[in-house]
Amino acid sequence: MLDARTIEIVKSTVPLLESANTALTEHFYRRMFRDNPELKDVFNLSHQASGRQPAALFSAVLAYAKNIDNPAVLDAAVERIAHKHTGFAIQPAQYDIVGHHLLETIKELAPDAATPEVIDAWAQAYGALAGIFIGREEQLYQASEAKAGGWRGTRAFVVKEKKQESEQITSFLLVPADGGPVADYRPGQYLNLHLDATGLAHKEYRQYSLCQAPNGRDYRIAVKREPGGVASGFLHDQVAEGDVLQVLPPAGDFFLEVAADTPVVLISGGVGQTPMRAMLDHLLGQGHAAPLHWLHACENGAQHAFGDDIRQRRQAHPNLETHVWYREPAARDRPAEDFDAIGLMDLNKVKDRILLPGAHYYFCGPLPFMAMVKEQLSAWGIADDRLHYEVFGPHQSL
């Protein structure tokens, strides 16, 4: 429990943090990777290069400083980050390294303001926050290990099937090398891969949404080839059926959670459909009787993964309606069969079908796409507690 003086000092540094902005976290990462290069095997360096990770960390540090006297408001963020950390197998000792570099960064960027009292207050504040994360992550590690078919750390899985689902997306069916069962998960959660192979400059941890309902036997993920993507390129080009991958347990705070009589609308753009597929698979497998809507947008038929599968499900389940947008259909794409509308997704065009009493809306895709979805749904008066979304990579609010 932090004392009043410590809280007062930390809150007094908020203007300093705001003036520094992401220069603070960019400096932090530079010095940490300089002095602890082994952490390059943990952090996604592409997110460093894009600026997304420094921006996400800055937002988290600023939010903590502003709410240090009421940390309960950060519970959702703590839960999300703790799940992410389990996917990197983060250990308590690594928090000591991060804390050291955070305090040194404050000293180096604001030497006049970084008095011993300020540094001590931030040391206490960071220690309290680290304790929260370490405790929650240990709970998650133990919960994963205790599940039927569960484990802790990495476990060897064999690529049983590698299937190209579209020009850019390939799915991988993974089965445990030890022949045992696998732990269940909540539809919408992701699987964590630890890639360590000759040809990779660093070990790479990546998280990919599970795209089928849990079955106790195997896991399926779908991976989009990203331009210049180290991990996605490795999986697409070098991993073959029969190869072994090291896998950490499923995790994630984005998952389906609805009553049996709740209408569900699943909205996706591009590869954002992967967690939606697990949700749909689960709902249909459970005989969900309430209305289900599948809304998807992509470039064209060549980029449309799992299209045939969704069409078959629609034909087999009368409570499932689908609507697909192609931004620029190709000559071979069939209207009313492959797609329903041309251009960008516009929910207002299907408002009369999907604005249902008590419905819950789950959506995932590129950030601008999700911002559009949230804006349109919110404009209809749908409460935030019925809107659920997942951001791939470092989290950003819409």
What is 287-349 written as a DSSP string?
T--S-EEEEEEESSGGG-TTHHHHHHHHHH-TTEEEEEEESS--TTPPBTTTBSEESS--GGG
Three-state SS sequence of 107-163: HHHCCCCCCHHHHHHHHHHHHHHHHHHHHHHHHHHHHHHHCCCCCCCCEEEEEEEEE
Q: pLDDT digits over 97-137, tens only?
A: 999 999 999 999 989 888 999 999 999 999 999 999 999 99
Mean pLDDT of the chain: 92
Distance CA 45, CA 228 (A): 12
Strand bridging mode 169-176 / 155-164: antiparallel
Confidence (pLDDT) at 291: 97
pLDDT band of 397, cuts 50, 70, 90:
low
Contacts of 56 (CB under 8 A, 6+ apart): 394, 395, 396
Average pLDDT over residues 242-270: 96
Phi/psi class of residue 381: alpha, beta or left (left: φ > 0; alpha: ψ in -120 to 50)? Answer: left
Confidence (pLDDT) at 49: 58
Structure tokens at 68: 């240090």
Main-chain phi, psi angles of 38, to 5 degrees: -60, -20
Question: Rounded to 5 degrees, what angle do the CA atoms 186, 378, 382 make?
Answer: 65
Average pLDDT over residues 7-25: 91
Confidence (pLDDT) at 22: 86
Q: Residues marked as binding?
A: 85, 190, 206-209, 270-275, 391-394
Confidence (pLDDT) at 390: 86
Confidence (pLDDT) at 88: 87
Cβ 174 vs Cβ 190: under 8 Å:
no
How many residues are recorded in the chain? 398
Distance CA 361, CA 377 (A): 9
Percentage of the chain exceeding pLDDT 90: 77
Confidence (pLDDT) at 378: 97
pLDDT band of 365, cuts 50, 70, 90:
very high
**Residue 203 predicted with pLDDT over 90:** no
Q: To which residue do tokens 């090398």 refer?
A: 177
The whole-model pTM stands at 0.90
* Eight-class DSSP state of 267: E
Q: Report the helix count and the strand count for the chain, using DSSP H and E.
A: 13, 12
Q: Residues marked as binding for NADP(+)?
A: 270-275
**Residue 321 predicted with pLDDT over 60:** yes
Q: Residues marked as binding for heme b?
A: 85
- Sorted by where each starts, the structural domains of the chain and their CATH numbers stand as 4-146 (1.10.490.10), 155-251 (2.40.30.10), 264-390 (3.40.50.80)
**Residue 281 predicted with pLDDT over 90:** yes
Contacts of 50 (CB under 8 A, 6+ apart): none
Average pLDDT over residues 138-164: 97
Q: pLDDT digits over 89-99, tens only?
A: 899 999 999 99
Confidence (pLDDT) at 41: 79
Q: Is the dihedral of CA 174, 175, 176, 178 positive or negative?
A: negative
Q: Which helix (H) or strand (E) holds 197?
A: none
Q: Which residues are catalytic?
A: 95, 137
Confidence (pLDDT) at 134: 95
Q: pLDDT digits over 212-228, tens only?
A: 999 999 999 999 999 88
Confidence (pLDDT) at 44: 67
Q: pLDDT digits over 30-39, tens only?
A: 999 999 998 8
Structure tokens at 319: 């409570």
Cβ 275 vs Cβ 187: under 8 Å:
yes
**Residue 322 predicted with pLDDT over 60:** yes
**Neighbouring C-beta atoms of residue 30, cutoff 10 Å:** 14
Confidence (pLDDT) at 45: 63
**Residue 84 predicted with pLDDT over 60:** yes
Q: pLDDT digits over 284-304, tens only?
A: 999 999 999 999 999 999 999
Average pLDDT over residues 179-190: 97
Confidence (pLDDT) at 387: 97
Confidence (pLDDT) at 250: 96
